[in-house]
Amino acid sequence: MFKKVERVVCVGAGYVGGPTCAMIAHKCPGITVTVVDMNAAKIDEWNSDKLPIFEHGLDEIVFAARGKNLFFSSDIPKAIREADLIFISVNTPTKTYGRGKGMAPDLKYVESVARTIAQYAGGPKIVVEKSTVPVKAAESIGCILRDAQKNCPELKFQVLSNPEFLAEGTAMRDLANPDRVLIGGESSPEGALAVEALVTVYENWVPRERIITTNTWSSELSKLVANAFLAQRISSINAISAVCEATGADVSEVAHAVGCDTRIGNKFLKASVGFGGSCFQKDVLSLVYLCESLNLQKVADYWHGVIEINDWQRRRFADKIIAELFNTVTDKKIAVFGFAFKKDTGDTRESSAIHVSKHLMEEHARLAIYDPKVPKSQVLYELGLQTSPADVEKLVTVYNDPYEAAKDAHAIVVLTEWDEFTTFDFSRIHASMRHPAAIFDGRLILDQKALREIGFRTFAIGSAPDQAYNLFGTSGY
Ligand SMILES: NC(=O)c1ccc[n+]([C@@H]2O[C@H](COP(=O)([O-])OP(=O)(O)OC[C@H]3O[C@@H](n4cnc5c(N)ncnc54)[C@H](O)[C@@H]3O)[C@@H](O)[C@H]2O)c1
Ligand SMILES: O=c1ccn([C@@H]2O[C@H](COP(=O)(O)OP(=O)(O)O[C@H]3O[C@H](CO)[C@@H](O)[C@H](O)[C@H]3O)[C@@H](O)[C@H]2O)c(=O)[nH]1
């Protein structure tokens, strides 16, 4: 029933759908790939010279394949009709209303795509969940598709789970050389054929031993668990960063010493002002909600601790800034360096910068925000959602020049680990600031000693105040 895959469609032209399909088109010249989206403006951008998202290496691949075997279109019915295999790669944000509000993922977009496929398929299709979904979501998609089969016997569907593990900022590298590709499917002969059809697509560039096949529910759950484990490592080291600050241990040294144990490993142990991004919080909350729904409250509480520590770390950092600026930031200009949730992306979803900025705005600080990739409109939009447009208007200015942002500021707060921040002329910056001038490094990227020699008061996550300089007390938190 499922022949060799020649036409792939991806519904959802976002951070996952765009780069993933660009990579498939690049690696599989024999496959025609069409990416569709209900947002026509976004499709226009994908068809333009300025793509809607920034990832190293993405432009080159898209510009080379576009119009040959890679297409971006708003004609969803046509694309679905012509496809052999359809990726569902739409957003699954945390619900903001109703049952499961603030915890469960909103599956309305996934369901809507399933219904559209049911309506326009016209023949056999392999439907692949690429979106991150709770366990058993494939069952709901299958149910909608099976219902359509009742009136149209030529329709045949197999639903697979194929979660995506790319990280933003390194998406093209991750896609070109994944640690693993995970495919879950039914154990029936038809299911096995569908799994094999998708394996064949990935085999164009991923070694077979790195393609893992499992049952559908293992695949869906593994995605949530992978993100929960990664987020847990960050919360673990961030919890330890507080112990370091109180004791004179240094969190980078501790992370290095601990991470050298090959059983633990050295990745995802960088202390920070808290993890951000569209995935970690959403997916850990989704796991917590799942556990609660299964009456596994102890397990739910355990994973919820990861989120609690993350919120606490953001708050703790903001409180430290306020305490060290003599317990008041009212009307003080504070330069914020970095607004994206991590370097090498313009994405601000759930960025810790939003939360730290919000806490400082509640204390009436005047924020001067600089980020090399995040547009002004996006900064104002994100902060407007958290506070009020009037407060944003009054308290926030977005700068294109970091030196202007720092001029006359009482402090600089580093919230994203952009490489360029380490290249700034901090002597020049110090000279232009109000004194005593302070730097709060929430990403551990700056040379504290060099900054102190220039004359800055410094604070870095996870390191105790330098006793030789004795610039900060231990008060405040
Ligand atoms: N962003 C990441 O780094 C990442 C990595 C791995 C997995 N994921 C998961 O992948 C999924 C997609 O994430 P994303 O970051 O690409 O989201 P996104 O918001 O960037 O893109 C989703 C796109 O889907 C479109 N869409 C929604 N409903 C639609 C419909 N019914 N028909 C057509 N188009 C529709 C939206 O217009 C949007 O352009 C999520 O489940 C996410 O958790 C994301
Ligand atoms: O040691 C570390 C590593 C990361 N972070 C922060 O954690 C957040 C997430 O970073 P990262 O995981 O690199 O980026 P994402 O794009 O959110 O990718 C995660 O979420 C994706 C969506 O599910 C998954 O596909 C990826 O595998 C998973 O890494 C960012 O704010 C980072 O600054 C730290 O604070 N310390």
Q: What is the pLDDT of residues 348-400, one digit of tens each?
A: 999 999 999 999 999 999 999 999 999 999 999 999 998 889 999 999 999 99
Report residues whose beta carbon is within 6 angstroms of any ligand 2 atom: 132, 164-168, 227, 230, 234, 268-270, 272, 275-277, 279-280, 283, 341-342
Average pLDDT over residues 296-311: 98
- Ligand that lies nearest to the alpha carbon of residue 170, given by its number in the listed order: 2
Determine if residue 93 is labeled as part of a ligand binding site.
yes
* Cα-to-centroid distance, 223 and ligand 1 (Å): 15
pLDDT at 470 over 90: no
d(CA 69, CA 30): 8
Domains along the sequence of the chain with CATH? 7-206 (3.40.50.720), 250-477 (3.40.50.720)
DSSP string computed for 198-262: HHHHHTTTS-GGGEEEEEHHHHHHHHHHHHHHHHHHHHHHHHHHHHHHHHT-BHHHHHHHHHTST
Task: Quote the pLDDT of residue 399.
Answer: 98
- Ligand that lies nearest to the alpha carbon of residue 130, given by its number in the listed order: 1
Average pLDDT over residues 421-448: 97
d(CA 256, CA 316): 23
Task: Quote the pLDDT of residue 428.
Answer: 98
Q: In which residue are the tokens 């226009």 written?
A: 44
d(CA 124, CA 416): 47
Q: Does a cis peptide bond (omega within 30 degrees of 0) precede residue 29? A: no
Arithmetic mean of pLDDT over the chain: 95
Task: Quote the pLDDT of residue 151.
Answer: 81
Task: Quote the pLDDT of residue 475.
Answer: 38
pTM across the whole model: 0.95
Task: Quote the pLDDT of residue 24.
Answer: 98
Residue 376, Cβ density class (10 Å: 0-12 exposed, 13-18 middle, ≥19 buried): middle
Residue 162, Cβ density class (10 Å: 0-12 exposed, 13-18 middle, ≥19 buried): buried
Task: Quote the pLDDT of residue 153.
Answer: 82
pLDDT at 242 over 90: yes
d(CA 291, CA 109): 23
* Cα-to-centroid distance, 156 and ligand 1 (Å): 25
Query: 453: Cβ–Cβ under 8 A, 6 or more apart, which residues?
Result: none
d(CA 163, CA 165): 7
Q: Indicate the top mutation candidate among 131, 172, 272 to test ligand 2's pocket, ranked by most ligand atoms within 8 A of CB.
A: 272
Q: Indicate the top mutation candidate among 15, 21, 120 to test ligand 1's pocket, ranked by most ligand atoms within 8 A of CB.
A: 15
Task: Quote the pLDDT of residue 150.
Answer: 85
Which token pair is 295? 């009456």
d(CA 172, CA 289): 32
Task: Quote the pLDDT of residue 1.
Answer: 61
DSSP type of residue 399: E
pLDDT at 468 over 80: no
Determine if residue 229 is labeled as part of a ligand binding site.
no
- How far is the CA of 427 from the CAs of 390, 410, 430, in angstroms? 35, 15, 5
Model ipTM value: 0.98
Residue 149, Cβ density class (10 Å: 0-12 exposed, 13-18 middle, ≥19 buried): middle
Is 279 considered catalytic here? yes
- How far is the CA of 187 from the CAs of 86, 155, 193, 215, 236, in angstroms? 20, 20, 10, 7, 38
Q: How much of the chain exceeds pLDDT 90, in percent?
A: 92
Phi, psi at 164, each rounded to 5°: -105, 135
